[in-house]
């Protein structure tokens, strides 16, 4: 099949509409702008052959996982600050690097990739942060499962500003009140709209205040673990106890994630048993799922679990869908052809320099497995902030103080951040035994068993936080489509990553979709739309000094080979 195939996948069936309907929806689903706010543009959109058919792609884009960010009607009808244009207009949402979509059956209002409806609320699904686009000379390439360039934090701040602007402007408020479902032009309608907006604004104000940091995340990054922990704190002791999320990380790529023994940048989450369901439930907590935490004093009480908005069955289905997702292959019909002779030289360099941590993987092997290599901070040398934040964080137990833990012990006044998150996840799963059983059965069916972590990393020796002082390496299939690089997105291109640390860019722009096929990464010159400053906390570009002593011709050969993976 062509690497640009948009053919029907195995999930399609005869009751999904006339032949070609789904292909047509997907081919025109990405609203391509001839020019956008940051100088990028495209007049054609292509999808790569990654093992999914159009139905699976479109389901993934808007599957409801239980995220409840704000009232659906509010986002749909909210205006931009200083304008009567809708906040969710394609041109405006592109500013945050969300990927535009035409209306489809599961997305009737044409919201961007990753936005979904949950009852009368709107929320995010993992596609918002794990679907990317690369533009090259007028063609946009959509890549499922790749790290997005989305500026989620900027979006949340702008929503807060738009809510404040609407409440402060009677004309805006009147238009909003008239447009919302059941609205009208009278004072009662405006009063109802005002009350709703004030409640939503209070939530956004608290959330954004709790997640302020001296290190801005910007495009393509988020301190996801830090924000998930802060959401857990919100449910147990209040946002005033939040921790500073000052360790931005790139959104991890998703292909082969269900096939890993351990996931997350720090490698702390096992996929065995119900591990994948627990990991995804934690993700939903981070993207605004709600959990009703209770103080259970006995294990019998605790078996009732916590009520939540998390859709556990959807998470099990999504994990199985992701199992069929394959890494993208370099599309030579759009990007310049790979120099096969140069790549052959690079293959030998890869075997010498890289393969011990980044094993080669056959993307099409249905039985492929990924054994993560976990490397200690002192060995890999990359920015330690993310790992140390997770290992060192101690948070108030709040309503859980004195309660029984899933391990049968009593919580004290403080606990580790991962213990707090683990409580919320475990108790939320307890409400859904059927979904848990499905996740365990899937893990066993795919031979996912808990195994010792591999690699040069510290052992816990009785203190489990010690083993968290590490980062995970994985196979590099599809790595060409996942810039910027390192766990914190502190290096813009593969070529830059192979330079000595002193020669890597200390400051670079991020947020443009235009692609540099020579250095392999997004175009990163200039001063916008956002600049990564590697001198700031959490942003260091040091470490991972493998291959950095190569001659320039060998460096080019290795980069050329990486395009083939």
How far apart CA 430 and CA 432 sit, in angstroms, is 5
For the segment 284-289, the average pLDDT, to the nearest whole number, is 96
pLDDT, position 371 = 92
Cα radius of gyration rounded to whole Å, the chain: 23
pTM value > 0.85: yes
Inform me whether the pLDDT recorded for 229 exceeds 50.
yes
For the segment 532-560, the average pLDDT, to the nearest whole number, is 97
Residues 6 or more apart in contact with residue 83 via CB below 8 angstroms: none
Report pLDDT digits (tens) over 446-484: 998 888 889 888 877 667 788 899 999 999 999 999 999
How far apart CA 435 and CA 277 sit, in angstroms, is 8
Residue the block writes with tokens 């991962």: 418
pLDDT, position 3 = 45
**CB of 432 closer than 8 Å to CB of 312:** yes
Residue 5: pLDDT band with limits 50, 70, 90: very low
In b/e form, how buried is each residue of 499-528, taking b as 16+ CB within 10 angstroms?
A: bebeebbeebbbbbbbbbbebbbbbbeeee
3-state secondary structure of 530: strand
- Nearest 10 degrees: CA dihedral of 314, 449, 144, 88? 40
Q: Where would I find the beta strands (DSSP E) of 427-469?
A: none
Q: Where would I find the beta strands (DSSP E) of 87-244?
A: 115-118, 121-124, 131-136, 138-144, 221-222
Please calculate the CA angle 396-288-448 and round it to the nearest 5 degrees. Answer: 85
How far apart CA 443 and CA 259 sit, in angstroms, is 9
Share of the chain above pLDDT 70, in %: 94
**CB of 281 closer than 8 Å to CB of 310:** yes
For the purposes of burial, counting CB atoms within 10 Å of the CB of 42, is it exposed (0-12), middle (13-18) or buried (19 or more)?
buried
pLDDT, position 464 = 75
For the chain, what's the residue count? 565
Inform me whether the pLDDT recorded for 19 exceeds 90.
no
42-47 vs 138-144, strand pairing mode: parallel
Report pLDDT digits (tens) over 500-513: 999 999 999 999 99
Report pLDDT digits (tens) over 400-450: 999 999 999 999 999 999 999 999 999 999 999 999 999 999 999 999 888
Residue 27: pLDDT band with limits 50, 70, 90: low
For the purposes of burial, counting CB atoms within 10 Å of the CB of 223, is it exposed (0-12), middle (13-18) or buried (19 or more)?
buried
Residue 143: pLDDT band with limits 50, 70, 90: very high
Phi, psi values for residue 210, rounded to 5°: -70, -20
Inform me whether the pLDDT recorded for 559 exceeds 60.
yes
pLDDT, position 26 = 64
For the purposes of burial, counting CB atoms within 10 Å of the CB of 409, is it exposed (0-12), middle (13-18) or buried (19 or more)?
exposed
Residue 24: pLDDT band with limits 50, 70, 90: low
Share of the chain above pLDDT 90, in %: 87
Task: State the angle between helix axes of 275-286 and 312-323 in degrees (0 to 180), rounded to the nearest 10.
Answer: 110
Report pLDDT digits (tens) over 104-135: 889 999 999 999 999 999 999 999 999 999 99
CB < 8 Å & 24+ apart, contacts of 378-382? 379/456, 379/457, 380/470, 380/471, 380/543, 380/544, 381/542, 381/543, 381/544, 381/545, 382/471, 382/486, 382/487, 382/488, 382/540, 382/542, 382/543, 382/544
In b/e form, how buried is each residue of 434-448, taking b as 16+ CB within 10 angstroms?
A: ebbebbbebbeebeb
**CB of 429 closer than 8 Å to CB of 274:** yes
Inform me whether the pLDDT recorded for 347 exceeds 80.
yes
Neighbours of 20 (CB within 10 A): 11
As a whole number of Å, the end-to-end CA separation of the chain is 17
Q: What's the chain's average pLDDT?
A: 93
pLDDT, position 462 = 67
């Amino acid at each position: 099949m062509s690497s640009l195939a948009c053919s029907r996948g195995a999930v399609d069936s005869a009751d999904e509409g006339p032949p070609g309907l789904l292909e047509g929806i997907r081919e025109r689903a990405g609203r391509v702008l001839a020019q956008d706010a940051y100088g990028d543009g495209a007049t054609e959109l292509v999808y790569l052959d990654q093992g999914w058919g159009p139905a699976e792609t479109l389901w993934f884009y808007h599957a409801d996982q239980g995220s409840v960010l704000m009232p659906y009607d509010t986002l749909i009808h909210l205006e931009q600050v200083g304008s009567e244009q809708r906040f969710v207009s394609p041109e405006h949402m592109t500013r945050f690097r969300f990927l535009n979509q035409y209306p489809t059956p599961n997305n009737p209002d044409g919201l961007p990739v990753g936005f979904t409806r949950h009852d009368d609320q709107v929320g995010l699904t993992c596609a918002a942060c794990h679907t990317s686009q690369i533009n090259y000379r007028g063609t946009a390439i959509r890549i499922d499962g790749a790290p997005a360039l989305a500026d989620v934090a900027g979006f949340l701040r702008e929503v807060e500003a738009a809510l404040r602007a609407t409440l402060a402007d009677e004309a805006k408020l009147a238009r909003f009140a008239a447009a919302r479902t059941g609205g009208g032009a009278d004072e009662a309608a405006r009063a109802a709209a005002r009350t709703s907006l004030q409640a939503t604004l209070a939530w956004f104000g608290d959330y954004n205040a709790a997640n302020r940091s001296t290190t801005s995340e910007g495009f393509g990054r988020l301190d996801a673990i830090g924000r998930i922990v802060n959401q857990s704190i919100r449910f147990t002791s209040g946002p005033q106890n939040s921790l500073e999320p000052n360790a931005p990380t790139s959104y991890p790529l998703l292909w082969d994630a269900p096939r890993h023994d351990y996931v997350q940048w720090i490698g702390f989450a096992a996929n065995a048993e119900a591990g994948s369901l627990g990991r995804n439930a934690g993700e939903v907590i981070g993207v605004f799922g709600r959990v009703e935490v209770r103080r259970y004093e006995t294990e019998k009480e605790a078996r009732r679990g916590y009520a939540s908005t998390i859709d556990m069955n959807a998470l099990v289905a999504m994990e199985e869908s992701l199992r069929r997702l394959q890494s993208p292959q370099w599309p030579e019909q759009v990007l310049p052809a790979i120099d096969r002779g140069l790549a052959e030289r690079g293959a030998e360099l890869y075997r010498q320099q890289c393969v011990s941590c980044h094993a080669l993987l056959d993307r099409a092997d249905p039985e492929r497995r990924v054994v993560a290599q976990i490397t200690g901070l002192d060995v890999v040398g990359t920015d330690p902030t993310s790992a140390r934040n997770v290992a060192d964080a101690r948070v108030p137990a709040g309503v859980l103080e004195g309660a029984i833990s899933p391990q049968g012990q009593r919580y004290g006044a403080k606990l580790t951040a991962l213990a707090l998150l683990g409580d919320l996840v475990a108790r939320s799963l307890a409400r859904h035994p059927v979904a848990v059983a499905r996740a365990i059965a899937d893990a066993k069916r795919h031979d996912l068993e808990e195994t010792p972590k591999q690699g040069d990393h510290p052992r816990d020796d009785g203190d489990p936080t010690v083993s968290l002082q590490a980062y995970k390496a994985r196979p590099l299939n599809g790595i060409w489509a996942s810039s910027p690089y390192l766990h914190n997105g502190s290096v813009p291109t593969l070529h830059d990553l192979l330079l000595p640390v002193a020669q890597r860019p200390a400051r670079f722009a991020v947020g443009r979709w235009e692609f540099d096929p020579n250095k392999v990464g997004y175009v990163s010159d200039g001063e916008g739309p956002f600049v990564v400053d590697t001198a700031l906390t959490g942003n260091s570009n040091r470490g991972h000094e493998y291959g950095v002593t190569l001659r320039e011709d060998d460096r080019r050969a290795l980069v050329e080979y990486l395009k083939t993976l």
